[in-house]
Structure 1
């Protein structure tokens, strides 16, 4: 169950990053509110997951999934560069997250 909570925390983290992008430097009210609420929700879920998972593993996976998710959405939604170097970095993050999950005991 802790792993599902961690994945949910990561998904909410992605929502936070998207909302903050749309908040345009805190100049748009509702995206700003959603960003703050999502940040609080994400940290709350992360805290629940950490009750059963090692802190370092949980935090690294939470940030890894969030980083990959928002990077992919940035490419799809905002025209961010899908350069080979960026895609290689994303692949390394995915590999690291998978390695942490496999080594978690």
Structure 2
């Protein structure tokens, strides 16, 4: 099952393609919904705004999950924030042992 989680009502547009959307009002409510969805969602779609706020808490919860969902982070409706690119750059830099330099207009 594909499920979406966001703080923005515009996120409900994904219901048109079959995503079960959960729009929450606060970060605490979002984290509670995330914990509830862990056992039944195969794919969890989250916007960048929410992911940026809850990524650490989500990682902690996923560590204990028996079958964690695939988390897909999409740009927020306010425009892309490139949170995932920053995380990817950090992970690759750590893996190769060299700080990667990225042009500022990409991040």
Q: Same fold (TM over 0.5)?
A: no
Task: Return the structure number with greater relative CO, CA threshold 8 A, min gap 6.
Answer: 1
TM-score, length of structure 2 as denominator length: 0.27
- Larger helix fraction of residues: 1
